[in-house]
A and B are shown apart, each in its own frame.
Chain A
Amino acid sequence: MNENVILPIGPQHPLLKEPMHFKFTIDGERIVDADIRLGYNHRGIEKACEARTYTQDLYMIERICGICSHTHATNFVQAVEEIMKAEIPSRAKYLRVVVAELERIHSHLLWLGVAGHEIGFDTLFMLSWRDREIVQDLLEIITGNRVNYGMNTIGGVRKDMSKEEISQCLAGLKTLEEQTLYFANVAQNETTFIRRVDGVGILPKDIAISHGAVGPTARGSGVDLDIRRDAPYAAYGEIPFQVITSDRGDVLGRTLVRVGETLEAIKIVRYCLEHLPEGPIVVKLPRKVQVGEAVTRYEAPRGECIHYVRANGSEKPDRVKVRAPTMANLVSIRHCLINQQIADIPIIVAAIDPCISCTDRTAVILKQDGSHKTEVIDWATLRKRAIYKKPLK
């Protein structure tokens, strides 16, 4: 039988944590071609940002993603501060780095658990998620919340760290480092894990570069790329750290990069807490932002995240655009999937750590003849079609 079978997966499927549609062309158990469709999770956040003030947008932007919420909030705030040409206090910069790196630790430990779960190694899933609670507790101590920390404000950060909190954090980091070293040992030596991911979903270096892969996906293929080092933001210019890369290019390579980055992030947090400069944590900035535009880059746990903000001189932004790291990594995922087995789909898709709620910005629906089935509607029409007919009072 030479005819290829098309296997549709999603938008709702037990394999997927978030809605996404895959169309796999398969020959027996082998994947011949893969097609990915997005657009099932569009929430219109960018448009909603234009109707709110900058302060309100902070919380809106933060809720783009539940895992990398600090990423989006910091990125947006940095863009606004760049338009205002404001210099924020160095203590605020260090505190932003502390939360950002703790977020990276929790994101990578979460990913390790998910990866373990996808390959049927649920022991790893349970253990890494149990130890992820340590970092979640630290985030709660520092910011007051486990997710959507609300740490940033325009001109600095909202919460200062007391001496007690710093010592609590350092104690928590010690346990965390011990546990992460254990996970690093598991990822490097446990044959149950290695045999399942070795040589699966290979992404060669040249393909990773030409397809624009970012973050651990690119670094797992040997591309030495890290925004924290290449275009330092916040306090990263003053902090010594290593960029972890692996030349393997498979899922194991990406795992080793993530585990290595977790260890590196612990060192960064410890350095920040020990070298935390004294001084204010926030500068007062006007509510109105002068006319201008800015693009900022940020190394999210998943890769490079780009925010674009255009200000028109009022209290509200004129345009906000977000390019999440998953958007860049999804392009290369097709290459990883071709010539792999059906059973490897979950781990290959999970290996880029996809976050669809970050990624979905717009959906263009094509008609049968291929022409665009889109229309431009104004606020009044949009309001008519809304669930809430009147603005909330």
Chain B
Amino acid sequence: MRRPGAIWRELVKNLRRKPATVLYPAERLEIPENFRGRPVFNPATCIGCMMCVRDCPAKAVKIEKVGEKKFSCTFYLDRCIYCGQCSDSCVKKSITMSHEFELACFDRSTLVDTKKEDAQAAK
């Protein structure tokens, strides 16, 4: 039957419903397990195979040799598209995707993230 007001059900429900949105940043939604945030590099396990550099679609990873079997990694987070291909390509799982997503900033140069081997671990 065609009648006006077939939409009434949700309208009535909405009268007593809380807002669908949350008051970010005071209130936060749960981040799912598979979420791809800022990539994290672990220099201890990197073998310098450069697979991440070859596969990165945005050319946002740079691996440099800093010593005997020691590598530093630079993420250009301004170019990174957070696809997580580097962590998939990494044979030693040296790159993992964290859940950190609040990366907005005013200065683009602060988004270049270099990680060398820990100073203490090197000694």
Chain A residues in the interface with B (C-beta under 8 A): 52-53, 55-60, 63, 123-124, 127, 130, 133, 140-145, 148, 150, 153, 158-159, 182, 185-186, 188-192, 194, 392-393
Contacts and interface: CB of A to CB of B under 8 A. Distances in A.
Contact of A150 (B4, B9, B36, B54): B36
Contact of B85 (A55, A144, A191, A192): A55
Question: Chain B interface secondary structure, helix, strand, loop or mixed?
Answer: loop
Contacts of B77: none
B20 A192 contact: no
A192 B4 contact: yes
Contacts of B6: 185-186, 188-191
B5 A190 contact: yes
A333 to B, nearest CB: 28
Given A189-B3, A190-B7, A53 B55 contact: yes
B55 to A, nearest CB: 5
Contacts of A150: 36, 83-85
Q: Which of A124, A148, A189 has the most CB of B within 10 A?
A: A189
Nearest to A160: B34
Interface residues of B, number: 31
Nearest to A159: B34
A141 B32 contact: yes
Contacts of B7: 123-124, 127, 186, 190, 192
Nearest to B31: A140
B65 to A, nearest CB: 16
Interface in B1-19: 1-7, 9-11
A305 B79 CA distance: 29
Interface string B34-64: 1110000000000000000011111100000
Contact of B3 (A57, A123, A191): A191
Given A133-B20, A140-B32, A145-B36, A52 B5 contact: no
B81 interface: yes
A175 to B, nearest CB: 13
11 contacts: A52-B57, A53-B54, A53-B55, A144-B32, A145-B35, A158-B88, A182-B10, A188-B6, A189-B3, A191-B4, A392-B59
